Amino acid sequence: MKTLTETWWSDAIGRRKSVTVALPPGYSPDGPPFPVLYLLHPYGGDRRSWLRCQDLASHVAMGQIILVLPESGRYWLINDAGGRRYEDYLVDEVVRYVDRHFNTFAHRGGRAIAGFSMGGACALFQALRHGDLFSVAASNSGAFEAPLRVGDPYARYRDDTRLMMPTTRDHERVWGPPGSATRETYDPYRLLAARDRGLPLSVYLDVGLDDYDRVISMNRNMRDALSAHSVPHEYRERRGGHDWEFVAAGLGTLFGFVRDHLTWP
């Protein structure tokens, strides 16, 4: 797996931004195009976070898929309450740049979006909002109900240095206070109800049985909502907590789902 750093001035963010692009063995700028998986990091991560998964390269090779790893740090890939336009950056700049500079199948059938925790939630939000761009969404331990969060449901875990959940202050600088327009815009259950049913979407989601109770609950809620809205999906609960060990153990399943549900020539 060959990794490249691609950097340009982002009009949406107002500064230079970089993405990591991972190319499978056999990639060629000529010949048949390749499908693309946009892979989003968790809260506080960056474009290198997913590279810590030891078997990532082998799954990229087996899937013959281009990986694109953008970054937003402690911000969500949405157009947030603080005026940061990370959604515009992703859908208007990153996707366009990748299709222009790499040999991709530039069609929704050749694009998937996935992520871990914050990234898993954003993957589903963007797939629901931009069905013309993405035909597959996948999530490990997605924080789907972030727009509905009130206060700090993770307060009792704050002594754990491994906690990857924002404080109330950090959460509200992205989402605004309860009832904000940003929260309403990205409410996942509203998005499901409003989605364009003419653009089929396949969804994979899983969660660890040792994850936070709230994360398990919101993943079960999302499973039920997908069923209620007749969205084809696969849902799994398996061993593990809210950590990279859990993510790494499920790479084969996630990549297999993406590979099986993309449709490219």
Report the CATH number at residue 44. Answer: 3.40.50.1820
Find the domain containing 168 and state its range: 2-261
The tens digit of pLDDT for each residue in 78-102 reads: 999 999 999 999 999 999 999 999 9
Residues 6+ positions from 82 with CB-CB distance below 8 Å:
173, 174
Left, alpha or beta for 151 (phi > 0: left; psi -120 to 50: alpha)? left
Residue 197 has a CB neighbour count (10 Å cut-off) of: 10
Residue matched to tokens 């790479």: 251
The tens digit of pLDDT for each residue in 185-213 reads: 999 999 999 998 899 999 999 999 999 99
Confidence of residue 131 (pLDDT cuts 50, 70, 90): very high
Number of structural domains in the chain? 1
pTM: 0.96
* 3-state SS, residue 104: strand
- State the Cα–Cα distance between residues 263 and 239, nearest whole angstrom: 31
* 3-state SS, residue 129: helix
Q: Please, how many CA atoms are within 13 Å of residue 183, restricted to the half-sphere of its CB?
A: 15
* 3-state SS, residue 17: strand
The tens digit of pLDDT for each residue in 20-61 reads: 999 999 999 998 999 999 999 999 899 999 999 989 999 999
Q: Where are the alpha helices (DSSP H) in 53-177?
A: 56-63, 86-88, 95-101, 118-129, 168-175
Do residues 201 and 172 touch, judged by C-beta distance below 8 A? no
**Token duo for residue 206:** 């899983």
**Token duo for residue 59:** 């799954």
Residue matched to tokens 């694109």: 68
